[in-house]
Amino acid sequence: MALLAFETSCDETSVAVVSEGQILANSVSSQIKLHAEYGGVVPELATREHLRNLLPVAREALNNSGLGVEQLEAITATRGPGLPPALVIGWRVAQAIAYALNLPLISINHIEAHLYSPWIDEGLSSANFNAFQPNVSLIVSGGHTLLVHVRGLHDHTVLGGTLDDAAGECFDKIGKLLGLAYPGGPVLDRISVKGNPAAYQFPRPLLNDSTDNFSFSGLKTSVRYFLEKNPKLKEDDKQLPDLCASVQAAIVEVLVKKTLRAAAHQGVDCVTASGGVTCNRLLRAGLAAACDKQGYSLHLAAPKFCTDNAAMIGILAEEKFKSTNKPSTIDADIKPGWTLA
């Protein structure tokens, strides 16, 4: 079957065409530069940009796919969670197209799409669900930090999540304290390459507690106090890489150790990770080294499928529709607070 997929839950406008587990097209228009000026996503601006860009992005995706509208067999979109005024654009457009073409509409939970994105093979751009293994999955982005036990396709339990800030939010807020461009995550990653991760000791919150929960706001506060006491450090080109590397090391150590500990508790042989922060080089290397040492197989979402994209929405929608054959009701509303079951 061929599906047209929409993703507008935050600040990427994305449309994809997928068919039989293959990604025929995946167009993404990022709003990062627009929001950078304000140091974070401005919902009103995001909405206007989605409105402006959605149809051109959809036209590009359809052109790239080589399919005509008459070949589409289903429409899918992110229904939640996300920013309500942003979500509503993609969801309403998907509803209108499904209604006009009399096609089934499949609603997708954005977090669940991240959860299965490690099974999209980057080189082949196709879903590799044949290789699926029960796993413990880390979903780590600007809005979420979750550990999930995935027993089978569409059979999972959330083990824990952040009690306050998400890991990506922590990277971005500390980036702001350090005077770096938004979003801070990729900038910190880049600057850290030249730094010493042991130069400064920042807290590793909840590292040794018995739950699968995370907490990152205390780390951010401790960096803030540290910078208030040492105001010159961030302006010093020689010290900044050490600061960035030390902050990154604290965040990544917590993510890696808690993920591996959850995998051991659940008795799985496989670990996966997805979401924007999974682009981080130290996190990728840290998970790879720990999984190698402890004998787990590791599936990391490919960097281009870590940040928000419609391909992961389409891949999950096709898989779900084939296994359940259940479309959404055409007039269903968005679900901004939709949690992962």
Interaction of residue 172 with ligand KG4, rule CB under 6 A: yes
- Could you say which residues in the range 183-222 bind ligand KG4, by CB under 6 A? 183-186, 189
Shortest CB 133 distance to Zn ion, Å: 23
In angstroms, the CA 180 to CA 201 distance is: 20
Helices (H) and strands (E) in the chain, counts: 11, 12
Interface residue with ligand KG4 among 91, 116, 119, 171 (CB under 6 A) is 171
Interaction of residue 109 with Zn ion, rule CB under 5 A: no
Place of tokens 């590397």: 245
Interaction of residue 161 with ligand KG4, rule CB under 6 A: no
DSSP bridge partners of 162: 214
- Could you say which residues in the range 268-327 bind Zn ion, by CB under 5 A? 308
Shortest CB 288 distance to ligand KG4, Å: 15
CB 134 within 8 A of CB 150: yes
Whole-angstrom CA distances from 321 to 61, 76, 78, 105, 192 are 21, 10, 15, 10, 43
CB 306 within 8 A of CB 63: no
CB 300 within 8 A of CB 3: no
In angstroms, the CA 8 to CA 101 distance is: 21
Interface residue with ligand KG4 among 279, 301, 310, 315 (CB under 6 A) is 279
Mask: binding to Zn ion, 135-164, rule CB under 5 A, as x and -? ------x-----------------------
Interface residue with ligand KG4 among 8, 53, 162, 280 (CB under 6 A) is 280
Tokens matching residue 163: 């009690």
Q: How far apart are the first and last CA of the chain?
A: 27
Tell me whether residue 202 or residue 305 sits nearer to Zn ion (CB atom).
305
Shortest CB 329 distance to ligand KG4, Å: 26
Total residues contacting ligand KG4 (rule CB under 6 A)?
19
> Which DSSP state fits 326?
-
Contacted entry of Zn ion, ligand KG4, none for residue 272, CB cut-off 5 to 8 Å set by kind: none
Contact residues for Zn ion, defined by CB under 5 A: 141, 308
Contact residues for ligand KG4, defined by CB under 6 A: 10, 141-143, 168, 171-172, 183-186, 189, 275-277, 279-280, 307-308
